[in-house]
Each structure stands twice: as C-alpha cells, then as structure tokens.
Structure 1
Amino acid sequence: MTNRKPPGTSFRFWVDRQISDAQSRGDFEDLPGMGKPLPPPTGRDAATDWALRRAREGDLDVQAFLPPSLALPREIQDLPAKLANVHAERQIREIVEDLNERIRQAHRLPQEGPPLRAGPLDVEEVVANWRNERSRPGARAPATLDGPW
C-alpha cells in the first residue's frame, strides 16, 4: 500500500517517485506479459475489440458483451436445455422469475442495440412444459417438493 501524498509535493513528482521506488525494488520484473506487445487499437471501439478477441480465444464469455436486447432472447432460446437439468419445480419458478425480472428491467431502461422484442414468460406455462417434457418415456419424473422425501 502506498503512503499518502505529502503536503506541498506535486502529484506528478509524488507519482514519479512511487514508480522509481518500485523499479528499484524490482516490483516490475517478471510480470506476466512482459515483453509482449499490447494488441493494437482498431478504431473507436479498441477496448471492446480487444475484449472480444480475448473472448473468442476462450478466456471470456462473449454473452457478457451483448446488449440485453440480444442476450435475453438467446437466454430464452436456451431455457429448455437449462431447465432439463433442474429437478425441482421451485427452482424452475425461481429461474423463470429471475429471467422475467431481467426482461422487465431491460424494458424499463433505455435500449442498447436493437429493440428488445421479448416479453416476460408465463411461469405456469413454462412449468407445465417442463412437466410434460419430464413425463415423456425415458425422462425422470419432475420433483414438485424440495428435499429428499
């Protein structure tokens, strides 16, 4: 942790002093990425481009960069696969209610990107569909109670 800037010392001098002290202690030696070039800026959205490249390489989740108007419909599309691994009706309701709250929030805020065309889901309809999928031959029966009983 650094000390406070002494009164009467210019900010620039104080920062330069902190850097030179760190260099003399060897704090900047053997840092990860040392000697490697930074990715070149590519126009107006250079920071975003760099982050997207990292995401494509597998380090980051690209979905985190999507505006809600694109991320939420994708999440709705992926919902059946997500719910297939859930075994309690209470959890299904929580997942859908959370998604609905994020959809409502996206509608309340100024739009980023294309307009959001998705509305809140009918929780009862989603639960009914989940039950139907679970009742098919070969599927596990839905758990309507929480707990091991």
Structure 2
Amino acid sequence: MTERKPPGVSFESFADKQIRDAQARGEFANLPGAGEPAPAVAETEYDELWWIKRKMAREGIAVLPPTLALRKEAEDTLAAAAVAPSERVVRRLVEDLNVKIRDMMFKPPPGPPLGLKPYDVDEVVREWRERRAARPTAD
C-alpha cells in the first residue's frame, strides 16, 4: 500500500522516493515489454493521443459526433425492425428512434448535420409484413 505524503515534503520529492524504494525492492523488474521501445515510439508517425486511441480500441469504445452516432443507431434500429418478432416490437423500435431524431432535429448538437427525418412507422411495418410474408415457413 502506498503511504501518504508527509506534510512539508514536496510531492515531487515524495514521488521520487516512492519510485526509488520500489526499484530497490525490485518491483519494476521483469515487467512486460521491458527493454522494448514504447509503442508510440515504434509507430512511424508520432501522435500525442496514441495511448488514448489504443485504450479506446482495446476497450471497444468509439466516439462519434452525436449526429453520426444517431445515424448509426437508425441504421441498426431499422435492421432490428426488419427481423423483429412482432408488429408491436417494430412499432416500438421505430417510434423510439423517431423520438431521438425529433429531439436532435429541434435541438441540434455541434457536428455535422443529422440528415435524417422521422420514419413513417406504418411504412416500416408494411415493409416488415412484406418481408415476413415472403419468408418460407419452417414446418
């Protein structure tokens, strides 16, 4: 456990002492990647945010502007509606999406324009019915 910084000691001196003590105890010996160049140095073009980008990729995090994220959500929602098990689910999916689209239309966030308008729920349901009717039944 790390001890607390004593009063009257500068943080830099305290941190340096903690590091020296850990080195003396061998806590930095045999660490993964020891003796290898740092990942950012190994890359051909330096990017000061390399570690943030690597962490986000490792964690599966993607950051899109809100309008682009909503476009992606609309695409995913329509794909989910196409294979939904019931008309009620299709309607709920599209109606929930329309609420988000209207909200963004009337309170635009910074970033690229949304380029979407609310979907016609009945039209999406009609397309769903047509696809469902055209599917062969498993008997």
Output the TM-score relative to the length of structure 1.
0.58
Aligned match of 1:126: 124
AA in 2 matched with 1:111 = P
Whole-Å Cα distance in 2 between the matches of residues 122 and 116 of structure 1?
Answer: 17
Percent pairwise identity: 43
Moved more, 128-137 or 34-43: 34-43
AA in 2 matched with 1:31 = L
Whole-Å Cα distance in 2 between the matches of residues 105 and 26 of structure 1?
Answer: 57
Moved more, 31-40 or 2-11: 31-40
Aligned match of 1:115: 113
> What stretches of structure 2 of length at least 5 have no aligned partner?
none
Q: 2:65 pairs with 67, 75, 81, which one?
A: 67
Distance 1:77 1:49, change over 3 A: farther
Whose radius of gyration is greater, 1 or 2?
2
Q: Is the 8 A contact 1:5 1:14 kept in 2?
A: yes
Number of residue pairs matched?
133
Whole-Å Cα distance in 1 between the matches of residues 131 and 70 of structure 2?
Answer: 23
Displacement of 1:80 after TM fit? 3.5
Whole-Å Cα distance in 2 between the matches of residues 66 and 23 of structure 1?
Answer: 42
AA in 1 matched with 2:63 = F
> What stretches of structure 1 of length at least 5 have no aligned partner?
141-149
Considering only aligned residues, what root-mean-square deviation do their CA atoms show, in Å?
3.8
AA in 2 matched with 1:29 = A
Displacement of 1:137 after TM fit? 3.1
Whole-Å Cα distance in 2 between the matches of residues 22 and 71 of structure 1?
Answer: 45
Output the TM-score relative to the length of structure 2.
0.61
Whole-Å Cα distance in 1 between the matches of residues 117 and 95 of structure 2?
Answer: 12
**Map 1:1-149 → 2, pairs under 5 A:** 1-34=1-34, 35-40=36-41, 42=45, 46-47=48-49, 51=53, 55=57, 59=58, 61=60, 64-89=62-87, 91-93=89-91, 95-104=93-102, 106-107=104-105, 108=107, 110-112=109-111, 114-138=112-136
Moved more, 6-15 or 124-133: 124-133
Q: Is the 8 A contact 2:102 2:117 kept in 1?
A: yes
Q: Deviations over 1:119-145 (max 9, x none)?
A: 3444454344333322223268xxxxx
AA in 1 matched with 2:135 = P
AA in 2 matched with 1:65 = V
